[in-house]
Amino acid sequence: LQKSLCETFGADKYSRARKEVLTYMFSRPMQMALYFCTGVLEDETLFHHYALNVPFYTHFTSPIRRYADIVVHRLLSASLGARSPLKMEKEAIQKQADHCNDRKMASKRVQELSADLFFSIFVRVRP
């Protein structure tokens, strides 16, 4: 599969873009991660990470990138005793998580539509 993909990418000025679009399209079926407040969900099996096979998992990136990551950093710091607890109710945290999920889904949909458009043009002009 990798060999045939590399041949498809080509070596012209659009090869990198084709690689990104096709790689993205192959990863599209993977389930998207969702933000949630653990204090709201009672079913701890929802905290499981399938690919890593660990029962409890959290993920965040640099807190300068996304608001959700800032909240996770603050909650983690508070749970480790490095800062005072957040003055937010768990329902408010879940409301923020839902909003972040909605925005992430909308962004993903726009990205998918853009990739579909690029791919259809690529298929049409590719000999």
Of 27, 29, 9, which is closest to residue 18 (Cα–Cα)?
9
**Between these two residues, 34 and 107, which has the higher pLDDT value?**
107
Tens of pLDDT, residues 43-85: 888 788 877 888 888 777 776 767 888 888 888 899 899 999 8
- What's residue 106's pLDDT? 92
pTM of the model: 0.62
User: Cβ(85)–Cβ(78) under 8 Å?
Assistant: yes
User: Cβ(8)–Cβ(18) under 8 Å?
Assistant: yes
Taking residues 81-108, report their average pLDDT.
90
**pLDDT band at 127; cut points 50, 70, 90:** low
CA–CA dist 111, 106 (Å, integer): 9
Q: Which segments of the chain are extended strands (E)?
A: none
Q: Where do the domains of the chain lie?
A: 1-30, 33-125
